[in-house]
Amino acid sequence: MLKLTFVHQKILLTMETKNKKKTIIKDFKAVKFMREVRDKISMDIKDMNFDQIKLYFENRKAKLAEK
């Protein structure tokens, strides 16, 4: 379970994990983070064919689910 909370003009990110531990990341820049992740994925898959890209995302999904 992951619960995100954003507060008013100042961005404050609260993450609640499965063990109910809360982590606060002050000044979390969601758009900047999204662009960095998108650019990294684009660089990783730029020379892959469809089957390789499909495998890449399956592995990525499994890796992120383990965390």
Residues 6+ apart with CB under 8 A from 48: 56
Write out pLDDT tens, residues 2-15: 444 444 444 555 55
pLDDT of 56 reads 95
Write out pLDDT tens, residues 32-56: 989 999 999 999 999 999 999 999 9
pLDDT at 57 over 80: yes
The reported pTM is 0.56
pLDDT of 6 reads 47
Residue 32: what residue type?
A: K
- Residues of the domain holding 61: 3-66
pLDDT mean over 17-22:
65
Residue 7: what residue type?
A: V
Instruction: Say how many domains are in the chain.
Output: 1
